[in-house]
Structure 1
Amino acid sequence: MEQDSMKKVVLITGGGRGIGAEASMILAKRGYRVAVNYVSNANRANEVVQEILNYGGEAIAVKADVRQPNEVDQMVKEICFKWGSIDALVNNANISFAAKPFQEMNWEEFSQKLNDEMKAAFTMTKAIIPMMIKNGYGRIVYVASGLAKNPSPKMIAHGTAKAGLVQFAKYVAQELGPNGITVNVIAPGLVDTEATADQPAEFREQMASLTPIGRIANPEDVARAIAMYVSDDCQFITGAYVPVNGGIAMD
């Protein structure tokens, strides 16, 4: 097991599936203590935890709806009771949205995604920054999307919400920098996960053919980028927007 973390504690929201699960396992292999957040699928979160424990890592599963302050506060207390603090946050939990053209969308559908996405980021950030400020150290990574800058059909709610998250991260980075806290955004392109399993094969092939690296991303590709920005290798990088898309869009 790599030991570059000095037993730091990382909380990964939506850590039981897809990108979050891969990030949980990669960071655990690098020596982090990992809190795997979930909201409903305890089995998947516990499977990730067990896999980490099997190879000698440290992990716990913690339940909370990241949009609910009371649940988040209880989750943070549980992690701190176990390990004393939280050194890094990976804000990754998937927020559902209506995938449809603007002309077919109503305000309730559009605003639901914006409100839920930003409330999750706001609530999680509020909950963990007091201890980071006290410790004079912190790493925050928000998982956004390339759709924040590059629109695609039927993705107006998702893309607009993620664009808001990108700008939110810049303000948090500016405000918290003097406290030793870095804040960065990982922006994946198309990733081969359960959430994208319904995409037609023809679309996947087209995206792969347009990507300089010649394929679409897998969860590990994104998780490795997350791990890099959680680490101290990026101690002087903050407020960055980091595309992880194989070069299909070069921001």
Structure 2
Amino acid sequence: MQIDLSGKTALVTGATGELGRVMALTLARCGADLALHYNSNAAKAQELLAAIGALGRRAVTVQADITDGNSVAELKRSVSEQLGTVDIVVANAVVQYEWTSVLNQSADDYRSQFESCVMQSVYLAKAFIPEMIAKRGGRFIGINTECAMQNFPNQSAYVAGKRGMDGVYRVLAKEVGEHQITVNQVAPGWTISERDRVNGTERSEDYERGVPLKRRGTDQEIANVVAFLASDLASFITGAYVPVSGGNVMPAI
């Protein structure tokens, strides 16, 4: 048994980010063609495009502001013209900001998280799910976070955005399930990425002490779950929030 995405086309938003790059490459290694969304890092997008091309997969880069509905609609038009129908959407992009307390966090930071977590997902659904409905199948995957269950100090804007996103995904799963479209969320813990490997910051004893597996996860481990949910192996899983955190958070039944 293996993950086979041959003949599928996937869109990854925030594909030039630390986790996005590994997700895109992993989907390509499983056989998918890729639409690589980026906001401002065109050079990294071109580098990723070349890496996926070297794997023998088709790929295109598309710039867009995922917090703007018109920009997402243009992204959809461009991807459709170049690659055809998208089978897999991975909503990974998020606006970065400086975390602080509720009393000190600016209102703009709350807006940015709502727009990049909730509205990005809404815009992507409106753009891509109608074609999935027409062909009776598709995968819609959002990248959430363990923080949505932790609710630690200074996380309020991020948690608010991701918990709002969670509501959209759960409702959407019920709305489009009859069309054999699955809607799921992957919730990484504090993940080791290429930046950590370069900077030598892979270890955090304080964090690891509280994780049942006693380590941080890796970007590849996150991408593996995304690929699984994108595949036919996960055809009867929908509405799920899947922590990939070594047991650091555990949703209750």
TM-score clears 0.5: yes
Match of 1:227 in 2: 227
Q: Secondary structure at the match of 1:104?
A: coil
Q: Name the CA shift for 1:54/1:161 in 2 (closer, same or farther; >3 Å).
A: same
* 8 Å CA contact 1:142, 1:185 repeated in 2: yes
Compute the TM-score of the two structures, normalised by the length of structure 2. 0.91
**Structure 2 runs not aligned, ≥5 long:** none
Q: Distance in 1 between matches of 2:233 and 2:126?
A: 25
* 8 Å CA contact 1:39, 1:64 repeated in 2: yes
Match of 1:191 in 2: 191
Match of 1:168 in 2: 168
- 1:18 deviation in Å? 1.2
Q: What amino acid sits opposite 2:154 in the alignment? A: K
Give 4+ residue runs of structure 1 displaced > 3 Å after superposition. 106-109, 193-197, 199-203
- Which segment is superposed worse, 138-147 or 104-113? 104-113
Q: Name the CA shift for 1:80/1:40 in 2 (closer, same or farther; >3 Å).
A: same
Q: Secondary structure at the match of 1:103?
A: coil
Q: Distance in 2 between matches of 1:108 and 1:17?
A: 22
- 1:142 deviation in Å? 0.5
Match of 2:88 in 1: 88
- 1:98 deviation in Å? 4.0
Compute the TM-score of the two structures, normalised by the length of structure 1. 0.92
Match of 2:125 in 1: 125
* 8 Å CA contact 1:98, 1:157 repeated in 2: no
Q: Name the CA shift for 1:20/1:237 in 2 (closer, same or farther; >3 Å).
A: same
Q: What amino acid sits opposite 1:101 in the alignment? A: S
Match of 2:48 in 1: 48
Q: Name the CA shift for 1:108/1:25 in 2 (closer, same or farther; >3 Å).
A: closer
Q: Distance in 1 between matches of 2:116 and 2:229?
A: 25
Match of 1:237 in 2: 237
The answer to whether the aligner puts 1:97 opposite 2:108 as a matched pair is no
* 8 Å CA contact 1:97, 1:158 repeated in 2: no
Q: Distance in 1 between matches of 2:45 and 2:213?
A: 31
The answer to whether the aligner puts 1:30 opposite 2:2 as a matched pair is no
Match of 1:147 in 2: 147
Q: What amino acid sits opposite 2:220 in the alignment? A: E
Match of 2:76 in 1: 76
- 1:60 deviation in Å? 1.4
Match of 1:11 in 2: 11
Q: Name the CA shift for 1:51/1:201 in 2 (closer, same or farther; >3 Å).
A: closer
Q: Distance in 2 between matches of 1:191 and 1:110?
A: 23
Q: Distance in 2 between matches of 1:107 and 1:73?
A: 27
* RMSD of aligned Cα (Å): 2.3
**Structure 1 runs not aligned, ≥5 long:** none
Q: Name the CA shift for 1:152/1:201 in 2 (closer, same or farther; >3 Å).
A: farther
Q: Distance in 1 between matches of 2:103 and 2:51?
A: 45
Q: What amino acid sits opposite 1:204 in the alignment? A: S
Q: Distance in 1 between matches of 2:109 and 2:77?
A: 33
The answer to whether the aligner puts 1:212 opposite 2:186 as a matched pair is no
* 8 Å CA contact 1:17, 1:45 repeated in 2: no
Q: Distance in 1 between matches of 2:15 and 2:52?
A: 12
Q: Distance in 1 between matches of 2:225 and 2:53?
A: 23
